[in-house]
Structure 1
Amino acid sequence: MKYPMQSLKNTLLTCSFLLTGLLLVACSTPYHTTDLPAPDIKGSYTDNYNYSQDIEAKQWIINNQSVFVYQLVNNAESYLTAKNSSANPYYPDKFSRFEWTHYFGDIWYCQQVYDASTAANANNFTIYPKADSSNPATGGCGLNGHNFPWSKLIPN
C-alpha cells in the first residue's frame, strides 16, 4: 500500500535492523492514523477508581473529559500511543502510551506515558520502559521510581 508524502507526516513507522551477512530491514506496517485497527479491548468500562473509560475504534475517552486520539495500535503487544487532545485538562497536545494486560480474567490498563513530546517518543521503550504487568493490582505502573497499581477495567 502506498501513502502520499502528505500522509506520511501522520504515519508512525517503526523499523528494526538485523545484520546477518547482509543488511535486512524489517518494518512494521505503516498505518495512517485513519487506517489503524481498533484496540482489542475496545468497549465501555468503568475503572476501579470510578472513572468512565470509553475505548473506541479511534480514540480513548476518560471520564468524558480527556480524549486521546490513536497514533499507533499494537494489539499483539497490548499497547497504543495516542495524541492528547488540545482540550484535555492535563498535558494537552502531548502524547500518551496506554498499555493493557489480562490478569486473573480481568483487563487492567496503565497510562505509562502521558506527557511525551512526540508520538515516536511515547512509543520508544528505551525512553519510557514498559510497565510491569506481573501483578497489576498492586503496582508496576509508572516511571522514575513511581510504582502505582494499574486501573482495572470493569465492563459497563
Structure 2
Amino acid sequence: MTARNSFIRSHVPFLSLFTCLFTSLFIGACTDDGGSQDDEATETGDTDTGTDTDTGEEALAIIGDYTDEWGDNHSITAETWTNSAGVFHIEQWDNAATYLVAQNDAGNEFNPELWSRFDWTWDADEVLYYCQSVYDGASIDAALAGSADTADLAAGCGGFAWTKMQ
C-alpha cells in the first residue's frame, strides 16, 4: 500500500462526513421554506368566516391585560378574551367598527359553545369601555347582528352601562 492510498483510506470517514455536511448545508440554503422574508409571524386577524366582513391585516386594537371597574381581570389576545366568565375564542374583529365576535369556550359555565359579540369604545379621556352586546348567539351571524350604542355609555349596552376598563 502506498503512502497516498493509506492517507486516503484513513481520511475516507472524514471526507464522507464533510461532503455530507456541505451538501446538506448547500441544499438547505437553496430551498424555500415558504416563510416570509423576515420569517417573523404576525397577527393579522384575517379570518375567513364566510361572511362579507373582512378583518383586514391590522392587529386587534385592544390586545392587553385590563381590570374592569368591578375588579374583574381581562386578558385579550388575538386569539382569546379571557375573564372570570370564561374564555371566548376570537373568530374575527373589525377595529374600525370597534367590535369582535368570539365563540364561547365549551368549558364556560354560561352559554358554552354559543357566540358572543364584544363592542368597545373610548370616551373623551381615552378610557376604554366594553359591552358584551351578544353572549348567547346561536351562530356567528347571530353574534354579528348585535350592536351597542357607543354614544350612550350609561345605558347603550342593552339598556345597561358599558363596563369601564383600566
- Counterpart among 132, 142, 146 of residue 149 in structure 2: 132
Deviation digits for residues 39-64 of structure 1, max 9, x if unmatched?
2011100000111011112100012x
Q: Which runs of 4+ in 1 moved over 4 A?
A: none
- Counterpart among 148, 151, 155 of residue 160 in structure 2: 148
Deviation at 1:135, TM superposition (A): 3.0
Aligned length: 119
Higher mean Cα deviation, 70-79 or 92-101? 70-79
Q: Whose helix fraction is larger, Structure 1's or Structure 2's?
A: 2
Percent identical among aligned pairs is 34
| Correspondence for 1:13 | 50
Higher mean Cα deviation, 88-97 or 36-45? 36-45
Separation in 2, partners of 1:38, 1:52: 21
Please tell me whether the aligned partners of residues 13 and 30 of structure 1 are also in contact (alpha carbons under 8 angstroms).
Answer: no
1:85/1:152 Cα in 2 relative to 1: closer, same or farther (>3 Å)? same
Task: Give the residue type in structure 2 aligned to 1:76.
Answer: A
Please tell me whether the aligned partners of residues 42 and 57 of structure 1 are also in contact (alpha carbons under 8 angstroms).
Answer: yes
Task: Give the residue type in structure 2 aligned to 1:39.
Answer: L
Please tell me whether the aligned partners of residues 94 and 115 of structure 1 are also in contact (alpha carbons under 8 angstroms).
Answer: yes
Please tell me whether the aligned partners of residues 54 and 94 of structure 2 are also in contact (alpha carbons under 8 angstroms).
Answer: no
1:76/1:30 Cα in 2 relative to 1: closer, same or farther (>3 Å)? closer
Alignment of 1:7-156 (within 5 A): 11-15=48-52, 28-29=53-54, 38-63=59-84, 66-104=86-124, 105-124=126-145, 128=146, 130-136=147-153, 138-142=154-158, 147-154=159-166
| Correspondence for 1:6 | none
SS at match of 2:165: strand
Task: Give the residue type in structure 1 aligned to 2:130.
Answer: Y
Please tell me whether the aligned partners of residues 12 and 120 of structure 1 are also in contact (alpha carbons under 8 angstroms).
Answer: no
Please tell me whether the aligned partners of residues 84 and 94 of structure 1 are also in contact (alpha carbons under 8 angstroms).
Answer: yes
SS at match of 1:12: coil
Separation in 2, partners of 1:37, 1:86: 28
- Bigger Cα Rg: 2
Q: Which runs of 5+ in 1 are unaligned?
A: 1-9, 16-27
Deviation at 1:121, TM superposition (A): 1.5
TM-score in terms of structure 1 length: 0.70
Q: CA RMSD in A?
A: 1.9
